[in-house]
């Protein structure tokens, strides 16, 4: 079972009734798998904070609930987490958060254990799919036993690896009674001060639990080296060095300090093996225990089995065959037929300052498009564009973000643009899905995660409703009209918003009724079409050729050709 499928199964067996999240690699599949259990209400939400609060509301109301997100999503939801830690939860509440060491598909590296320390809530950390199921199921019981939200931390290698799991029965949990209790759930200062004391008392109780729970276990073998570790690194260590003694921390926070002291006294040399931040190392050194961590293991990127061998067991170096030479070089590039390609070519040609956002269109940063100037975090394209415009009013500043990202975090900054009358152009690149994470629905697709038809949010109407004075909806494959409209918007002294519509090629229904060809006698070899970076177009000596196996028949090249050398043909 895939790790994320096991997380979903663990939640199902744990009696979850409400699950909410926002897609983000490597966490996305958890909710997709959970939605196949029809007696669990599963939903995508506009962003992680909304998802967290929906699940928290369900738990306060008496039903076991789950929230899922990637690590940067917890930044968005952290405001709710910090206070839910005070109020407690009534029924079980679990948030599964997936970290991404090495940034395989993320804008930064974060260690979710910091949030557990910060919020003073327990954190569990499975090392394989089997534990992903087991720990998630157990997390609901811990949540109810201590009346606290529980974080379950995954990493890319746990979420996306496969392993054997033992399936169990779904736990039938009677809903807990909901009782009005303002002293517990309304955090005005007078009540919050009392709940602050409860938080510390709960933390002490959790520290006692950490000492006794089998989630933290000592495996004594050769006592020359002892290693404290957890998560997927435990699995690597067992594979590489099964002879060493290990203290496996399945509960990342709070730490079992007495157990750590006992383990340290039983081995000659003690190491802490942890990915990303030296959280355990700091705590253990603060206990006065001599331990090695960062001086041996890197704090940036993934610690793979080969890194572990190199740093700690060089005598175990394995022979391997380097297969990289067999791979065909494939630079990161927008898909053939991607509706975003044409707009970024136009923006580059107009020398616009383009403030981008989180999504696959960040690939427009790379040559040959080289169109994007900034990309910070979800929704920041609009706010950053405002700031640059304030600094340089003479520049043509454009914010570009996808439809799902716009709904996630783009609406408040758009309101700010209108409120402060900042003359920037906002482009909502509407491809009808959350493309980068694999094509999930959102409020503007008209479908829910459970497959139901629902209200279709009209982004253009929303923009007009918040006061944007200039709003247009355009076809992504009509670059000439897009350019004319952008030139019109550039001359305005007020905000403008363009919805650029074109389907994601990975979600588009396959059609084989047409393709495009180059009339060689008309091709002048100007290569304007190639400058958009479509992988289906190649230079053939002094002409252009179309690789039909790569072509998605979007027709953008035909629109770009100034000599009408590319034409459509029926197949």
d(CA 364, CA 356): 9
Contact 98, 132 (CB under 8 A): no
CB atoms within 10 A of CB 499: 22
The pTM score is: 0.94
Q: Is it true that the peptide bond before 493 is cis, omega within 30 degrees of 0?
A: no
First to last CA, the chain: 42
Cα angle 452-456-460, degrees, rounded to a multiple of 5: 165
H-only helix segments in 440-525: 459-465, 479-490
Residues 474/476/481/486 CA torsion (nearest 10 deg): 80
For the chain, how long is the longest CA-to-CA vector? Answer: 83
Number of residues that this document lists for the chain: 571
**pLDDT, tens digit only, all 571 positions of the chain:** 999 999 999 999 999 999 999 999 999 999 999 999 999 999 999 999 999 999 999 999 999 999 999 999 999 999 999 999 999 999 999 999 999 999 998 999 999 999 999 999 999 999 999 999 999 999 999 999 999 999 999 999 999 999 999 999 999 999 999 999 999 999 999 999 999 999 999 999 999 999 999 999 999 999 999 999 999 999 999 999 999 999 999 999 999 999 999 999 999 999 999 999 999 999 999 999 999 999 999 999 999 999 999 999 998 887 777 777 787 777 788 999 999 999 999 999 999 999 999 999 999 999 999 999 999 999 999 999 999 999 999 999 999 999 999 999 999 999 999 999 999 999 999 999 999 999 999 999 999 999 999 999 999 999 999 999 999 999 999 999 999 999 999 999 999 999 999 999 888 776 656 789 899 899 999 999 999 999 899 988 789 999 888 888 889 999 999 999 999 887 6
With a CB cutoff of 8 Å and minimum separation 6, the contacts of 427 are 343, 398, 399, 400, 401, 497, 498, 500
């Amino acid at each position: 079972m895939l790790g994320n499928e096991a997380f979903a199964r663990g939640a199902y067996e744990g009696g979850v009734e409400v699950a909410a999240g926002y897609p983000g690699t490597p966490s996305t599949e958890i909710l997709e798998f959970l939605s196949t259990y029809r007696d669990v209400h599963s939903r995508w939400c506009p962003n992680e904070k909304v998802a967290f609060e929906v699940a928290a509301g369900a738990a306060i109301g008496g039903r076991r609930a789950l929230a899922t997100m990637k690590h940067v999503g917890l930044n968005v939801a952290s405001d709710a987490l910090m206070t839910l830690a005070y109020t407690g939860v009534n029924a079980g509440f679990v948030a599964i958060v997936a970290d991404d060491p090495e940034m395989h598909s993320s804008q930064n590296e974060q260690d979710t254990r910091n949030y557990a320390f910060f919020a003073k809530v327990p954190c569990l950390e499975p090392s394989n799919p089997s534990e992903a199921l087991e720990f998630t199921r157990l997390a609901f019981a811990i949540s109810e036993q201590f009346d606290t939200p529980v974080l379950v931390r995954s990493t890319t290698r746990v979420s996306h690896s496969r392993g054997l799991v033992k399936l169990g029965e779904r736990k039938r949990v009677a809903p807990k009674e909901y009782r009005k209790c303002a002293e517990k759930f309304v955090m005005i200062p007078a009540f919050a001060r009392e709940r602050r004391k409860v938080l510390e008392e709960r933390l002490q109780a959790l520290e006692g639990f950490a000492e006794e729970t089998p989630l933290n276990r000592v495996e004594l073998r050769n006592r020359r080296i002892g290693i404290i570790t957890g998560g997927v690194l435990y699995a690597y260590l067992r594979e590489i060095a099964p002879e060493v003694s290990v203290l496996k921390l399945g509960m990342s926070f709070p730490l079992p300090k007495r157990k750590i002291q006992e383990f340290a006294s039983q081995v000659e040399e003690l190491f802490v093996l942890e990915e990303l931040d030296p959280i355990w190392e700091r705590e253990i050194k603060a206990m006065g225990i001599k331990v090695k961590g960062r001086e041996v293991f890197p704090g940036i990127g993934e610690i793979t089995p080969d890194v572990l061998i190199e740093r700690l067991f060089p005598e175990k170096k394995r022979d391997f065959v380097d297969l990289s030479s067999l791979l065909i070089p494939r630079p990161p590039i927008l898909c053939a037929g991607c509706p975003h390609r044409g707009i970024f070519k136009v923006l580059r040609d107009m020398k616009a300052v383009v403030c981008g956002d989180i999504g696959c269109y960040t690939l427009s940063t790379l040559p040959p498009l080289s169109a994007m100037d900034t990309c910070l975090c979800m929704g920041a394209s609009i706010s950053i564009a405002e700031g640059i415009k304030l600094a340089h009013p003479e520049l043509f500043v454009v914010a570009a973000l996808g439809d799902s990202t716009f709904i996630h975090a783009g609406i408040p900054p758009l309101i700010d643009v209108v409120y402060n009358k900042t003359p920037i152009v906002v482009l909502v690149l509407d491809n009808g899905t959350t493309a980068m994470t694999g094509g999930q629905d959102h409020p503007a697709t008209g479908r829910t995660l459970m497959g139901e038809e629902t209200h279709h949010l009209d982004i253009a109407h929303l923009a007009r409703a918040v006061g944007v004075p200039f709003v247009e909806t355009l076809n992504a494959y009509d670059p000439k009209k897009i350019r004319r409209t952008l030139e019109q918007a550039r001359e305005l002294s007020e905000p403008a918003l363009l919805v650029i519509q074109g389907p994601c090629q990975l979600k588009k229904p396959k059609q084989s009724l047409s393709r495009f060809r180059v009339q060689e006698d008309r091709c002048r070899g100007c290569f304007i079409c190639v400058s958009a970076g479509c992988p289906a177009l190649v230079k053939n000596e002094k002409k252009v050729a179309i690789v039909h196996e790569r072509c998605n028949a979007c027709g953008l090249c035909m629109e770009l050709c100034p000599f009408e050398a590319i034409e459509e043909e029926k197949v």
